[in-house]
Amino acid sequence: MINKFTTLAEAVKLVRQGDMLALGGMTLYRRPVAFVRELIRQGTSDLTLLAFTAGFASDLLVGAGLVSRVRTCYFGLEAFGLAPMFTKLASAGKVKIIEETEASIAFGLRATLAGVGFMPGQGWLETDLLKVRPDVRLVDDPYSGRRYVAFPAIRPDVAVIHARLADPSGNAVLGGNLAVDQELSMAADRVIITAEQVVDKLEERADIVGLRVRAVVEAPGGARPTSCYPDYPLDAAEILRYVETCASGGFAEYLREFINSEFPIHNVQ
């Protein structure tokens, strides 16, 4: 077994300026927040952010100015409303959006996994998405003659996935909410696992096979304030505090506090 155990600071160095960085988890669930904190501290910029759904962690990255391009099918805070910094910067035209939907990301990752340039799908036909994504082409089905959208392969440079448990070689247990993480762990060029706990040997079956994992980091509470089911729920009070702080123009202050705090960040009532 190859030991890939390392520190957060070292793992973050696997992300290079200009990379396409994929965040594991879903909107406010099992996001690699500790990793994002260290990334903001190191200031790696000009990133293309790939998040199936983007929420709190992505909004911090965008607000911190590290993201030049966003690829996601949803960028928001669910019940907490709009993602404040994305909404502000995207509305001002200050972050480029590469429009994606559930299907374009799902089929795009599957194309990479299959080693082909695209996967055909029925989505997007007749919509304006094709106008703002001129790189996305149509393809004729050689059997039926029907026309489909050829969703192009998506290959992230780096994927960061927060797990409940991992072993030092990168096999990891996700805890139920699989999100897009199995696919990311096979599609990305470099894969980083942060975990609540790193153990010598997993007692349960792994969701992520560590063959392509480059770094394993122990980060207890590393998803907070997002959830890590079933270990801890979403810290709703902290997400609301973020929304309220941003609503009164306090993002810079929130970010300063965030990067200077030791993880986990937790709103104690």
Span interacting with another protein, options 2-10, 56-64, 156-164, 224-232, rule CB under 8 A? 224-232
Residues of span 9-38 touching another protein by CB under 8 A: 26-27, 29
Q: Which stretch binds another protein (CB under 8 A): 1-9, 31-39, 60-68, 104-112?
A: 104-112
> Residue 9 or residue 237: which is nearer to another protein going by CB?
237
d(CA 31, CA 193): 11
Conformational region of residue 221, where left means phi above 0, alpha means psi within -120 to 50, and beta covers everything else = left
Concatenated DSSP letters for 124-169?
Answer: TTTSTHHHH-TT-EEEE-TTT--EEEEEEP---SEEEEEEEEE-TT
Q: Does position 245 bind another protein by CB under 8 A?
A: no
Q: How far is the CB of 41 from another protein (least distance, A)?
A: 27
- The encoded tokens of residue 268 equal 């104690």
Among 19, 157, 167, 181, binds another protein (CB under 8 A): 181
Q: Which residues pair with 97 in a beta bridge?
A: 70
DSSP 30: S
Write out the residues near another protein by the rule CB under 8 A.
26-27, 29, 52-53, 72-76, 78-83, 86-87, 90-93, 97, 99-107, 109-110, 121-129, 132, 146, 175-183, 227, 229-237, 240, 243-244, 247, 269
